[in-house]
Amino acid sequence: MQSLDRFEEILGIKFKNEAFLREALTHRSYLNEHPHWEWGQNERLEYLGDAVLELSASRFLFDVFPEFPEGRLTGLRAALVNYRMLSKVASEISLDVFLFMSKGEAKDSDKAKEIIMANAIEAVIGAIYLDQGYDTADAFVKKFVMTHLNEVLDAGLEKDPKSRLQEIVQEQEKVTPTYRVLKEEGPDHKRTFYVGVFFGDRMIEKGVGSSKQEAETNAAENAIQVLEQAQ
């Protein structure tokens, strides 16, 4: 059985009950290949960790920026806790090395793996909360997630990507971007949406998310990157 000591060293946390951590690192696909696996999959911990992460990030931004209105605080939080940023955090702490998932999922598309990694980060936060309490989970969020705040501010990532894209495209091509759902996957309580962003009849990029709105936002972010690279 894989030792998680090294991962605990990276986190700077020694779990009292390692079962919480093992469950947080178990993707549901792994159970299909290992039906006798002793621990459950991580979606319940992901649900809990998502709430802890949002509260921690909200309080941090509320304290750091007393002059910011609610709208800008919301934009900053969204930029810090979206799946792309969380997958980046996952990479920084080598979470992929320790995650239990099927061989098929491991070979999936980059975007699908980013979502898996982001969800696992939330599950780890949930596990820390259950094992160590809110203060330790809050410290983890500050150490590994909120340290990206300056990056978000410098790049203006807190601005709504759909609005930014619309401004760019209307100026350059005199059209308004439209969004179409390309496909949906997963159970009703945990859907994954794939959306395309179109300039007229031309699809420029795709996006993915746990809601149509999140997938549209991701598609807009990807389209902005395409336009910036073309300049």
Averaged pLDDT for residues 18-41? 94
The tokens for 112 are 């699908």
- Higher model confidence: residue 108 or residue 150? 150
Q: How far apart are CA 182 and CA 195, in angstroms?
A: 5
Burial (Cβ within 10 Å: 0-12, 13-18, ≥19) of residue 212 = middle
Give the pLDDT confidence score for residue 170 in this predicted structure: 85
Task: Let me know if 66 is exposed, middle or buried by CB neighbors in 10 A (0-12, 13-18, 19+).
Answer: exposed
Domains annotated for the chain, with CATH where assigned, are 15-155 (1.10.1520.10), 161-230 (3.30.160.20)
Encode pLDDT of 31-66 as tens digits.
988 989 999 999 999 999 999 999 999 999 999 999
Provide the 3-class DSSP secondary structure of residue 196. strand
In this structure, the number of other CB atoms found within 10 A of the CB of residue 72 comes to 14
Mapped onto helix, strand or coil, the DSSP state of residue 181 is strand
The segment with the largest mean pLDDT, out of 15-24, 80-89, 212-221, is 15-24
Q: What is the pTM of this model?
A: 0.76
Q: pLDDT at residue 1 above 60? A: no
Residue 122 designated active-site: yes
* pLDDT at residue 168, rounded to an integer: 86
Which residues lie below 8 Å from residue 50, measured CB to CB, with a gap of 6+?
122, 125, 126
Task: Determine the Cα–Cα distance for residues 221 and 162; give it in Å rounded to an integer.
Answer: 8
At 106 the pLDDT is 65
Residue 207 per-residue DSSP state: E
Which listed residue (122, 131, 138, 205) is catalytic?
122
Query: If you average pLDDT over every residue of the chain, what do you get?
Result: 92
For residue 96, is pLDDT > 90? yes
Residue 77's pLDDT is 94
User: Following DSSP, what letter does each residue of 1-53 receive, concatenated?
Assistant: ----HHHHHHHT---SSHHHHHHHTB-HHHHHH-TT-SS--SHHHHHHHHHHH
pLDDT of residue 89: 97
Taking 70 as the threshold, does the pLDDT of residue 75 lie above it? yes
Q: Which residue has the tokens 């601005």?
A: 159
Model confidence at 27: pLDDT above 70: yes
Cα 156 → chain centroid: 18
Of 62-66, 78-82, 151-155, the range with the highest mean pLDDT is 62-66
- Of 148, 156, 219, 152, the residue nearest 182 (C-alpha): 219
pLDDT at 2 over 90: no
| Residue 145 CA to its chain's centroid (Å) | 11
Identify the CA nearest to 84 among candidates 215, 183, 230. 215
Q: What pLDDT sits at residue 6?
A: 95
Q: Which of 46, 50, 114, 131 is catalytic?
A: 50
Q: Would you say residue 160 has pLDDT above 90? A: no
pLDDT greater than 90 at residue 105: no
Q: Can you tell me the mean pLDDT for 203-228?
A: 91
pLDDT interval class at 107 (50, 70, 90): low
